[in-house]
Amino acid sequence: MIQKQKAYCRSLIIFLFPFSLILSQNKVDTLLEQIKQKPDTTKIRLLNNFCWTYRNKEFQLALESGKEALKISEKIKSKKFQAESLNLMGVIYRDLGKYDKSLSLYMRALQLAQEAKDDRQIAYSYNNIGGIYRLESNYPLAIEYILKGLKKFEERNDKEGAAFCNINIGLVYSRQHNYEKALEYYKISYDLRKELGDNIGKATSLSHIAEIHSEVGNYNEALINYFILEKEYLKLDDKKGQISVWSGIAAVYELQKEFTKALKYRQKALDLSISFKNIEGQITNHSNIAILYARVGQFAIGEQHLRIALDYSSTIKSPYLRLSCYKASAQFYGLKSDYKNAFLYSQQYAALKDSTINQENSSQIAEMEAVYKTSKNEKENALLQKDLEISERQRNFVFLIALLVVIIAFITYNRYHSKKVANKKLQELNALKDKFFGIIAHDLKNPFAAIFGFTNILLHEFESLGDDEKKRLISSIDDSGRQTYKLLENLLYWSRSQTGGMDFNPKLLNLNEIIIEAFFVLESSAKFKKITLYYDAADNMTAFGDENMIKTVLRNLISNGIKFTTQRGKVSVHLKSEITHVKITVEDTGIGISKEIQEKLFQIDNVSTSEGTNGEKGTGLGLILCKEFVEKNGGKIWAESEIGKGSKFIFTIPTKNY
């Protein structure tokens, strides 16, 4: 087997030798002419290899090569090779900013790979699809697909594929500003690349590591890495890598207030982005060049660059890039003292950020919102934008609360008006409405009071406050906003379930994957309290139910376990297969629940909130949602607990569609 591999590698070297000639002639036809006597499978491998090798050098040649490989694959009806070519071309379209086209190719590749039962291409398709969702700022869905890919790569002991997945996960964490976790995954990827002897892969990992050093203020270390990488990418003729490195160097110089040097490298990155048609590089560098010109007082030139960035960002399906442009625009006009435009772009930033969050919520995916950051020199502007964002959210909260009241009133009237027991039912629902108003008054009043109190301090005592105190106040405002948003989210979920506005799509579920995803979403909360998350279950345990509803139930129960468990405790999920159902137990080592309170759990007329062991706030509606969703899926839910001995929340799901 080893001798065959060596022979194949020698044949590749022989046929790859004239590639410099092909590149100079700028024609894939030359390669096709040289390999026309070879078997179709050899042609496909060479064309796909050419596509991958030149994706960051000459993307048009790479695309042509991939298309030729796809034609031959279709001719010989090889779904495996078709999937490989589609995945490779999808990477190029992704780098060109054509996310819809890229995602379409990845989805076709996944279908063909599944039909061919090719685990390697299935894994690459999963990771690639996750990468597109990451670029579109749908981080939870991105992680779901990337983890599917990582699992398959690890099962195959495919270190190259695993390295790609770890980079992707690191990028998700980096977008969330969780730099410690991002660095952890980048280093895993780097070690895998080093083990494989993959210099290009190592360079990619080092580039992301340098970016983290820059973000956390290790400027000298970041620059050392970037200058090493600059030489490496120039030697490799990797244009995408050069753009990334020059952009990174410029970012460090800007943070060090060396604006002339920053502008020099931004311009180099922009020029190469334009010639290489790298849309992300063009948007990023145009917007950053605009700010640099504003810093040196050349607003007219800066505004030209800003307009180009805004125009390009409107053509690409990337909330992250548009958010960056709106943020840069607000900063630019703030430096120009054009506060009207600064305010308008701050509003657009807040609106897009909220719409991104709402999109994730409508898909029943946990919110992973990127934190809004600015440099130290723009602290006043940053606080102003933060206040504007909070004000916008407050208006949205008030509107949605009013909408909820209307929905509840409508349910009250429409659902029971025609029944004989209308009076009794109306009385019960009025009591329920009063309970909701009580929750709204109690759980919204306190955080809003805190928000107004903190913003009032910032507005009137800004100059006298130290940086640490300002950060603490801003952090408190963020915590209060998130608490209020969680309450509103649960109220909306409940109202949708009552009005039939929530889709019910039961299917066969892989419970292991759902639990892993829930742990991933809640990992940071558990880590903060040093709580261990653990589950035991047979591999590939399945059940029949609505995926989004079951995910919501698990997230709520695990989140409650973390909330009511003290430092260094443990939250476990246990799965047990029974004759017609799977029994899922979420167990914690927390403070426990009294018998009196246990009897009132899951009752809508006894909704109450309790503080966690670290003072965490709750919405009081999580268990009500769990009961609604479990029963909707044909299961049951109950609790078992003793004070001081922890709690167990148990629910069942059918094993198939009975």
| pLDDT tens, position by position, 442-478 | 455 556 655 666 676 677 667 767 777 777 767 767 7
- Mean pLDDT, range 359-380, rounded to an integer: 35
221's tokens:
């270390």
Instruction: For residue 650, count CB atoms less than 10 angstroms from its CB and return exposed for 0-12, middle for 13-18, buried for 19 or more.
Output: middle
Phi, psi of 613 (to 5 degrees): -65, -20
User: In the chain, what are the domain boundaries?
Assistant: 376-499, 507-654
- Highest mean predicted confidence (pLDDT) among 63-77, 271-285, 520-534: 63-77
pLDDT computed for residue 378 by the predictor: 41
- Highest mean predicted confidence (pLDDT) among 5-14, 291-300, 443-452, 596-605: 291-300
The string of DSSP letters for 469-493 reads: HHHHHHHHHHHHHHHHHHHHHHHHH
The 8-class DSSP code of residue 655 comes to: S
Whole-angstrom Cα distance, residue 523 to residue 519? 6
pTM for the complete prediction?
0.47
pLDDT surpasses 90 at 52: no
pLDDT surpasses 80 at 479: no
pLDDT computed for residue 25 by the predictor: 41
pLDDT computed for residue 405 by the predictor: 59
Min mean pLDDT across 66-80, 144-158, 237-251, 317-331 is at 317-331
Report, at the CATH architecture level, how domain 507-654 is classified.
2-Layer Sandwich (3.30)
Share above pLDDT 90 across residues of the chain, in percent, rounded to a whole number: 23
Min mean pLDDT across 144-148, 363-367, 601-605 is at 363-367
pLDDT surpasses 60 at 357: no
pLDDT band at 19 (very low <50, low <70, confident <90, very high): very low
* Of 384, 374, 391, nearest in space to 459 by CA: 384
pLDDT computed for residue 18 by the predictor: 42
Whole-angstrom Cα distance, residue 513 to residue 554? 12
pLDDT computed for residue 384 by the predictor: 44
Whole-angstrom Cα distance, residue 590 to residue 600? 19
- Mean pLDDT, range 31-46, rounded to an integer: 82
Share above pLDDT 70 across residues of the chain, in percent, rounded to a whole number: 71
Q: Are the C-beta atoms of 201 and 188 separated by less than 8 Å? A: no
Long-range contacts of 303-311 (CB under 8 A, 24+ apart): 303/332, 306/332, 308/282, 309/282, 309/283, 309/284
How far, in whole angstroms, is CA 19 from its chain's centroid? 39
3-state secondary structure 76-97: CCCHHHHHHHHHHHHHHHHHCC
pLDDT band at 125 (very low <50, low <70, confident <90, very high): very high
Average pLDDT in the chain: 77
Q: Are the C-beta atoms of 278 and 96 separated by less than 8 Å? A: yes
pLDDT band at 614 (very low <50, low <70, confident <90, very high): low
pLDDT surpasses 90 at 265: yes
What confidence tens digit (pLDDT) does each residue in 430-441 have? 555 555 555 555
427's tokens:
């009385």
pLDDT computed for residue 477 by the predictor: 73
- Mean pLDDT, range 261-276, rounded to an integer: 90
- Mean pLDDT, range 114-135, rounded to an integer: 92
Sequence length of the chain is 658
Q: Are the C-beta atoms of 386 and 372 separated by less than 8 Å? A: yes
Question: Tokens 């989210």 correspond to what residue?
Answer: 489
DSSP element (H, E) containing 369: none
* Of 322, 368, 326, nearest in space to 343 by CA: 326
Min mean pLDDT across 30-39, 333-342, 518-527 is at 30-39
Whole-angstrom Cα distance, residue 114 to residue 122? 6
pLDDT computed for residue 431 by the predictor: 53
More confident residue, 348 or 25: 348
pLDDT band at 636 (very low <50, low <70, confident <90, very high): very high
3-state helix, strand, coil in the chain (%, to 5): 70, 5, 20
Give the list of residues 6+ apart from residue 637 with CB closer than 8 angstroms, or none.
553, 602, 626, 627, 630, 631, 649, 650, 651, 652
Q: Are the C-beta atoms of 135 and 94 separated by less than 8 Å? A: yes
| Residues 412, 418, 419, 420, CA torsion sign | positive
Long-range contacts of 182-186 (CB under 8 A, 24+ apart): 182/208, 182/212, 183/209, 183/212, 186/212
- Highest mean predicted confidence (pLDDT) among 21-30, 418-427, 574-583: 574-583
How far, in whole angstroms, is CA 186 from its chain's centroid? 16
Beta strands in 333-436 (DSSP E): none
- Mean pLDDT, range 519-528, rounded to an integer: 80
Cα–Cα distances in angstroms (integers) from residue 87 to residues 1, 40, 149, 591, 603, in the given order: 27, 19, 13, 50, 50
Phi, psi of 510 (to 5 degrees): -90, 105
Min mean pLDDT across 76-90, 296-310, 434-448, 551-565 is at 434-448
Q: Are the C-beta atoms of 206 and 190 separated by less than 8 Å? A: yes
Specify the amino acid at residue 654: P
Ramachandran quadrant class, 235 (left: phi over 0; alpha: psi -120 to 50; beta: rest): alpha
pLDDT surpasses 60 at 381: no
Q: What angle do CA 53, 56, 62 make, to 5 degrees?
A: 55
pLDDT band at 369 (very low <50, low <70, confident <90, very high): very low
Strand order in the sheet with 570-577: 532-536, 570-577, 581-588, 647-654, 637-641
Buried b vs exposed e over 24-56: b needs ≥16 C-beta within 10 Å?
eeeebebbbebbeeeeeeebbbbbbbbbbbbbb
* Of 98, 89, 96, 157, nearest in space to 125 by CA: 89
Phi, psi of 232 (to 5 degrees): -65, -45
pLDDT computed for residue 12 by the predictor: 38
Question: Tokens 């044909």 correspond to what residue?
Answer: 634
pLDDT computed for residue 7 by the predictor: 37
